[in-house]
Amino acid sequence: MGRRQRPILKNLLGALKDRASQSKAALLSGPNTSSPHLAVLRATTHDPSSPPREKHVSVLLSFGHGSRLTASCCVEAIMDRLHGTGSSSVALKCLIAIHNIVRRGTFILQDQLSIYPSAGGRNYLNLSNFRDDSSPEAWQVCLWVRWYARVLEQILFSSRILGSFLSSSLFSSFDDGFKETKEEVSALPNGHLLKEFDALVGVVEEICKVPEYAHVRENRVVAEVIRLVGEDNLMAQREILVRAMEMRERLSCLVFSDSVELVCVLKRLENCKEKLLFLSSNEKMKGGDALLDLVGEMKERIGAVEKCGERRLVRKGKVSESARLDSRVVVKSSDLVRFSSGRMELLPDSVM
């Protein structure tokens, strides 16, 4: 009985805190002012049963249509809310808000997100130690908070390398936008292409570390997270496939160090095979099979290229050794001249 009452009491206290915080923010902002702080509070309530409403997310995104200062205040308010809460539900909703900025925000809003904090780095959202032990359910959701933060961190990190946000444009199917992306990728030098390939594989790796879903199957906030990340998985696979196809065309001209690095990245991607196929079972995720088939083909071709290279090196080594033997000067007694001091020297060519 006590366990059943605890979540109810927790939800009631959360609702009271939300109402008090929103009332305070409304008074401070004034009746005719749209406050980023108030908009964030409305989009990130303590209610564990429902994700942020679309109208509240739209209000957050609208701050990207104003000044840079307004957009900065919006991002700062989300980050303050995220790092100031101990509620797993609030934290997940903050991350959903950040994800929507990545996917649908204006350039000015995305720009403010990308430079916050100014140091950046891999641990961008700093939620690796997030804990909520207020209930067994909240403890399970904590796993999703930490995982979702790592996925978003990797997306933000890869976006810096790609020069644009991975989710900045949505496509209805796997093939949409494929040709346009291929044309852009074909102009990249090998080193940068490999760097982008590595960053995108990092996104898929984090997505494939998804926690066990059975314990939170009824949680609608987690369901929204799965939907958003699932679409990112589709786009990451498409971007990887484009770059893998381009790398396949360049295998014969890769330097040895790039070939080694490419094999390492391909192995990392292959290690995600089971989860990748599971996540790609949806019709929209049909690129998973094609991508893994291409990975296997590329590894075989790289192995063949390396073996041919080794044979060439062996043949070259044998030739150079014989050349060194042939080039040695064999000195005969007839080629020597004796000086009065007893010293012997070779006769110059003109004399010989």
Cα–Cα distance for residue pair 262/248, rounded to 1 Å: 10
pLDDT digits (tens, 9 = 90+) for 196-206: 999 999 999 99
Read off the pTM: 0.76
Could you give phi then psi for residue 272, rounded to 5 degrees?
A: -90, 10
181's tokens? 């992306």
Cα–Cα distance for residue pair 85/91, rounded to 1 Å: 7
Q: Which of 129, 131, 138, 146 is nearest to 10 (CA)?
A: 138
- For the chain, which residues make up each domain, given as ranges? 1-165, 169-302
Could you give phi then psi for residue 339, rounded to 5 degrees?
A: -90, 165
pLDDT digits (tens, 9 = 90+) for 231-282: 888 888 888 989 999 998 998 888 989 989 999 999 998 888 878 766 665 4
Q: What is the pLDDT of residue 183?
A: 79
| Total residues belonging to the chain | 352
pLDDT digits (tens, 9 = 90+) for 292-319: 788 878 878 876 655 554 444 344 444 4
Where does 1-165 sit in CATH, by number?
A: 1.25.40.90
Helix axes 136-162, 107-114, angle to 10 degrees: 110
